[in-house]
Structure formats: C-alpha cells, structure tokens
C-alpha cells in the first residue's frame, strides 16, 4: 500500500478516535473540541481522496528512485514490452555494468523487475502518483 493510502487509513483511525472521545468527554468544551478535531480530519481525508493522479516526469522518477518509499503506479504502453505489466511498483536506481544510472521497476509480491530505458519514458512507459482511471490511462499522450 503506498504512503498516501496509509496516511488516509491512519487519518480515518484518528477521526474514529476523536469521535469516540467526543462520546465520553466530561465537559461540553471537551466534547466540542473532539468533534471539531474529527471534522478537520474528515476534511483532510476528503481533500486527499479527491486529489487526481498525476503523471510524473522522468526527472521526478529518477529522484524518487534514489529515495525510500518510492511506490508509484507504472503504466506500460499497449503493445510495448519495456514493462511486463502495469500496476503499483517500486522504482529504484541502480548502475549498469558500465556505471551508468538505470531505473529498475520492482513488482510487489514477486522477484520480477524490469529495467526500462529512461529514453523510452513517455513513449513506452510512464508513472503516476496514484492509480489513474481508465479514461486517464487512455488519454496518455504516448510519444
């Protein structure tokens, strides 16, 4: 599960906690504070859930590949073989035998990974911040 999904789940648990605390608060002010906190958290959850997936640029992918928690949605151009599939994956930077930086795409739950060419990014594969809708995937401007 990507970090933003973990964040939303954590916020939902926190909202439930504040709602529960409002039910047992010993004062009107305490109850009002818990209700207001739950409302603010609910608003944050709504805003996070409404954010649209965004296609990342190759520079962003290269930067993410150097970090921890680098889970993205990878999409393969239909008919191309740079990626074995589309879905959630972890991107990592590695060096090829000649010492050049490469991107590796690791698929969760398997030992399979792909090493797509950086030069083919946007032509045969792309990455998104979140899982795109069918319409968004169909609208990818494959170059």
Distance between CA atoms of residues 24 and 117, nearest Å: 58
Q: Is 143 within a domain? A: no
Q: Are residues 44 and 94 in the same domain?
A: no
Q: Are residues 12 and 31 in the same domain?
A: yes
Tell me the pLDDT band of 108, cut-offs 50, 70 and 90: confident
At residue 29, the pLDDT reads: 93
Q: Are residues 84 and 129 in the same domain?
A: yes
> Under a CB-based contact definition with an 8 Å cutoff, are residues 103 and 116 in contact?
yes
Tokens of residue 83, six digits = 């990626």
Q: Are residues 62 and 112 in the same domain?
A: yes
The predicted-structure confidence for 112-143, as pLDDT tens digits, reads as follows: 899 999 999 999 999 998 888 888 888 898 87
Q: Are residues 14 and 84 in the same domain?
A: no
Q: Is 117 within a domain? A: yes
Q: Are residues 131 and 65 in the same domain?
A: yes
Average pLDDT, the chain: 88
Q: Is 91 within a domain? A: yes
Name the percent of the chain lying above pLDDT 90. 51
Q: Does the global pTM surpass 0.85?
A: no
Q: Are residues 42 and 62 in the same domain?
A: no
Bridge partner residues of 95 (DSSP): 101
Q: How, if at all, do strands 125-128 and 113-114 pair? A: unpaired
Q: How many independent structural domains does the chain possess? A: 2
Distance between CA atoms of residues 75 and 25, nearest Å: 49
Q: Are residues 45 and 111 in the same domain?
A: no
Q: Are residues 42 and 82 in the same domain?
A: no
> Residue 75 burial (CB < 10 Å; 0-12/13-18/19+)?
buried
**With 60 as the cut, is the pLDDT of residue 1 above it?**
no
Which strands make up the sheet holding 125-128, listed edge to edge?
113-114, 101-106, 87-95, 71-76, 125-128
Mean pLDDT of 57-84: 88
The predicted-structure confidence for 14-24, as pLDDT tens digits, reads as follows: 999 999 999 99
Tokens of residue 54, six digits = 């965004």
Q: Are residues 90 and 106 in the same domain?
A: yes
Q: What domain range includes position 69?
A: 58-138
């Amino acid at each position: 599960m990507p970090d933003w999904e973990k964040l939303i789940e954590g916020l939902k648990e926190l909202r439930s906690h504040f709602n529960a605390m409002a039910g047992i608060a010993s004062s009107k002010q305490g109850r009002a504070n818990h209700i207001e906190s739950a409302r603010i958290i609910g608003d944050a959850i709504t805003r996070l859930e409404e954010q649209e997936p965004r296609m990342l640029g190759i520079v962003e992918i290269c930067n993410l590949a150097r970090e921890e928690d680098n889970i993205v949605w990878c999409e393969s151009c239909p008919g191309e073989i740079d990626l074995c599939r589309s879905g959630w994956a972890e991107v990592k930077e590695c060096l090829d035998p000649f010492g050049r930086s490469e991107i590796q795409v690791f698929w969760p739950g398997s030992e399979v990974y792909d090493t797509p060419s950086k030069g083919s990014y946007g032509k045969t594969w792309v990455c998104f911040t979140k899982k795109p809708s069918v319409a968004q995937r169909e609208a990818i401007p494959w170059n």
